[in-house]
Chain A
Amino acid sequence: MRLDVKKTYKLFIAGKFPRSESGRSYQVKDTKANHVANVALASRKDVRDAVQAARAAQPGWAGASAYNRGQVLYRIAEMLEGRREQFVNEISSLTGKTQKQADAEVSAAIDSWVWHAGWTDKIDSVAGSMNPVAGPYFNISTNQPTGVVGAFAPQGSALVGFVNTIAPAIVSGNTVVVVTSENLSLPALTLGEVLATSDLPGGVVNILSGKEAELSSWLVGHMDVNAVDLEGTSNPTELEISAANTVKRVIRPGTYPREGAKGNLQHILDLMEVKTVWHPKGH
């Protein structure tokens, strides 16, 4: 009988897989309370490092062409499709879903990446505009990514909820620091490996596993974060108050369903800023 080589689950920051700087870990168990893995327990310093990485990566990611970003997101779907089995197994062991149900969840996650990939170069065609101002001016409104997004993936979803939290943020050129579901963290961390092999620049997505209650005040309070998605948090009102200190854009929990094979354009736009430019016309 051959002993299998078990995986160590680490954080994903700046394109690399460090352990928590605190050295801490916590146990992830399956639905029968069996030990599955020890997972890095992220600390506030990991939050700090992740935000730094996200900020550093943001200009480059936003500066890439929309076409290029679409190619990368599609590549993520390709890589995820190629590794479906691993995800199906992780999901069913953690959530008790049947193979068939877990399979359906993985398919939804892949399809959601494909749906998001197709938006990168269409947002402005749909949500931008030339504005017919009453004067001899060229006037155009475009949508720009807001910057660094702090996000909390839904606690009850192992994979698809996680995907539907990070994809809407990065489609437009934001970078994201995301806290996984505490108990269902494994597929999200494995997704980090998929991201690392998909030509996604390091720092665009940073994944922290751990206790959302411990990390949320640090991430939401961080002054270099532009927007927060509070979906997976337990005290959203308090956090929204904290976010107001730097006028962060806030997505309250429950605003967008996260289980489907497609996302929501409004969700994408919530993490963008409209910029309007004027220029006179005359010779």
Chain B
Amino acid sequence: MQAEEIVGSRLTNQSLSRWLHSLPGVDKVGLEARAASLATRSIKTTSKVWGLDMAIKMMDLTTLEGMDTPQRVRSLCQKAMTPDMDDPECPTPAAICVYGDMVPHAKAALGKSKIYVAAVATAFPSGRASMKVKLQDTKDAVAFGADEIDMVIDRGAFLSGNYLEVFKQIQSVKQACQRPKGKPAHLKVILETGELQTYDNIRRASYLAMLAGADFIKTSTGKVTVNATLPITLLMLEAVRDWFDQTGELIGVKPAGGIRTAKDALKYLVVVKETAGERWLTPELFRFGASSLLNDVLMQRKKLLTKTYLGPDYVSVD
């Protein structure tokens, strides 16, 4: 469906603003209570094994440090391809997530592996640069062969009510994801929920991103104090669920940052299942942006198989 059709009028800042502010409000206490209630689900035995395997398959294994080097990226890719040398059946993450200039090293290291390369772009993490720079950043990563682009929205524009600007920026980046030959890079739009702060803002930003062509909406850069949380992810899953009802488009959700334990990951899977539904329980529609999560999941996985608790010496570092 076209954006104008969905909004119901020509796109101006005013019409977008009215559309966004007509969405139902979010009661913070109620939302958080629902997330807390879902977090009490007890995932055991067979469903735990399934959940842990799926959590690995949904991971965007991430390194986004100023001090990243080619060897660092290579090492992470090796870890992704062989997470557990004792178990060749162990699933592998969906993607590696790196800075745009590291894409060539990731692609080289991954070779023929089916693991995607996702690149952050648009002057990640702040997004504070000219559109020219942000688009170039994107195009460079796409040219290097990134399968996925994780962009950031302009939070300043959003918080000052300049919704049309946010919309246009996302649209342009989506355009920049096109390739002359081959599939376009798929676009994840990072809302930076920690800076948007209110749930009402997060709902509106989710809808704005979906309207503008996001393939995935993503919570955070991982570079601020508050990153992904269960209630925020619940809210975003409600948004993609309702968006599908309204438009027939399937959009994914990626919580990123702060998800460290297998236990946490399983809670997120419960929230996906009981909010958007089992249809979203696939790496095509749900990802975890994480780094240390993988080893905790691997330890839990091994514990289920060996029936003993492991220590960090028994999983490889990346």
Contact flag (A, B; Cβ within 8 A): no
Residues of B participating in the A interface, judged by any CB pair closer than 8 Å = none
